[in-house]
Amino acid sequence: MKTLADCREQIHSCSKCGLCQSVCPIYKITGNDCTVSRGQFLMLQGLLRGEYKMSKTINKYLDICLKCGACSKFCPSGIDVVDIIALAKAEYYKAHFFEKIISFFQKYLVFGFGLNLMKLFSQNRKSQKFEKKVIYFGGCGGKLEGNASVVKLLNSCGVEVVAPDFDCCGIPFFVRGDMDNFNEAAKKFYEVIQKYNISEVVTSCASCEKTLKSYKKWFDTDEVKVRNVYEYIRENNLKLKLNKKLKVTFHKPCNMSNFGDVEWILSNTENLEYIKMKDFDSCCGFNGLTKPKQYKVTGNLFKAKQNNIIDTGCKYVLTSCLGCKTALSSTSFGKYKVKDFAEFLNKYIK
Ligand code: SF4
Ligand code: SF4
């Protein structure tokens, strides 16, 4: 697997133009170059030249990055910042035993025991039979909510859903630089899908979708077609109708690649009034919830997002990523309800 040293050329291709500063939500708050890709690449260049070693301070700056990818989309050198930060984090992970203890808790307590316990309360639904079949990847969100929403939506598109019990896609390990557990998550995914003769995997979570698609790049695995349930709805021109009039806004997760499909559904669903919020696509700052020390910085992002939601006057804010849903719910303070988009449609469509 790739290491940080393999990215030497990409890191050195940073021209220090500073354009990333204009889009980085963290730099806008801190004004500190070490918290944005330009400054981080300067640190990594020194590290690769052997001028200094990976330290807690460097890791602190790598950690504050939200992995939102906003800078990559803007970077004239086309540098994949999120991947490079993950590989730099992997260097820190390898050298620090405490990181492995965190991984243990993350893997066995949070994603193993914790989510399996919550699964007892999740809603499941038996799929209707159709000629076209897909595998549903629920990930952690699927364990919490069950497959009911996705089965209902895909059955309405004439698609049968097979819903095996998958584990986490591995993104929480990836962003911490724990490439061993990330690799294990990928292996488990392939072990499950190989049991079925079905060529397509569908998910409703933007972050799971991006992660499943990234396995090939990291582990040179087989190509699997991974799609989002919202693509199916638009492709089938499925016009939905809510059972009562509701006004909603939508937070676009950084990892979402098909917001056009979501907007199409929001604009074409009867009884649904969609209000686009200001900065609908700016990062929710989920990182700050997982790392309380960063809350001082990300608290500003939560506040800005909260104000933008309140300004829409909507009771519901929809999204489609478990991390975003967690961040938005935890900072809503009862001012609005946060729902997964598919879960919302399942509840309110006739
Ligand atoms: S936008 Fe890209 S090339 Fe410019 S400073 Fe940032 S990372 Fe470097
Ligand atoms: S990924 Fe996001 S938070 Fe990290 S440096 Fe780029 S814009 Fe800033």
Tens of pLDDT, residue by residue over 295-338, are 778 888 889 999 999 999 999 999 999 999 999 998 899 999 99
The answer to whether the pTM exceeds 0.95 is no
Are domains 4-95 and 239-348 of this chain identical in fold? no
Tens of pLDDT, residue by residue over 328-344, are 998 899 999 999 999 99
Tens of pLDDT, residue by residue over 269-296, are 999 999 999 999 999 988 766 666 777 7
> Looking at the chain, which runs of residues are DSSP E strands?
132-136, 159-162, 200-203, 225-228, 241-250, 270-274, 316-319, 337-340
Tens of pLDDT, residue by residue over 14-66, are 999 999 999 999 999 999 999 999 999 999 999 999 998 899 999 999 999 99
- CB neighbours of 108 closer than 8 A, spacing ≥ 6? none
Classify domain 239-348 at the CATH topology level. Answer: Rossmann fold (3.40.50)
Tens of pLDDT, residue by residue over 119-135, are 888 888 999 999 999 99
Dihedrals φ, ψ of 133, to 5°? -125, 145
Q: Confidence class of residue 109 from pLDDT cuts 50, 70 and 90? A: confident
Average pLDDT estimate for 156-168: 94
The domain made up of 4-95 is a member of CATH 1.10.1060.10: yes
Ligand 1 pocket test: pick from 16, 23, 43, 84 the residue with the most ligand atoms within 8 Å of its Cβ.
16
What's residue 170's pLDDT? 93
CA distance 281 to 251: 6
Q: How many Å lie between the centroid of ligand 1 and the Cα of residue 75?
A: 5
Tell me how far the alpha carbon of residue 225 is from its chain's centroid: 18
Pocket, ligand 2, Cβ cutoff 6 A: 23-26, 36-37, 65-71, 81-82
For the CA of 36, the closest atom of ligand 2 is 5
For the CA of 23, the closest atom of ligand 2 is 7
What's residue 288's pLDDT? 64
Residue with the nearest Cα to atom 3 of ligand 1?
A: 14
CA distance 81 to 154: 35
Nearest CA to 238 out of 246, 229, 247, 251 is that of 229
What's residue 202's pLDDT? 97
What's residue 52's pLDDT? 86
Residue with the nearest Cα to atom 4 of ligand 1?
A: 17
Q: How many Å lie between the centroid of ligand 2 and the Cα of residue 68?
A: 6
What's residue 247's pLDDT? 97
Q: Bridge-partner residues for 225, per DSSP?
A: 200
Q: How many Å lie between the centroid of ligand 1 and the Cα of residue 77?
A: 7
Tens of pLDDT, residue by residue over 163-208, are 998 999 999 999 999 999 999 999 999 999 999 999 999 999 999 9
Residue with the nearest Cα to atom 6 of ligand 1?
A: 20
Alpha-carbon dihedral 139, 144, 149, 152, rounded to 10 degrees: 80
Going from N- to C-terminal start, the domains of the chain cover 4-95, 118-233, 239-348
What's residue 289's pLDDT? 61
Ligand 2 pocket test: pick from 67, 210, 291 the residue with the most ligand atoms within 8 Å of its Cβ.
67
What's residue 118's pLDDT? 83
What's residue 112's pLDDT? 81
Classify domain 118-233 at the CATH topology level. Answer: Rossmann fold (3.40.50)
Say yes or no to pLDDT of 214 above 70: yes
Q: How many Å lie between the centroid of ligand 2 and the Cα of residue 202?
A: 28
Which token pair is 291? 């790392």
For the CA of 77, the closest atom of ligand 1 is 3
- DSSP string covering 85-130: HHHHHHHHHHH-HHHHHHHHIIIIIIIIIIHHHHHTT----PPPP-
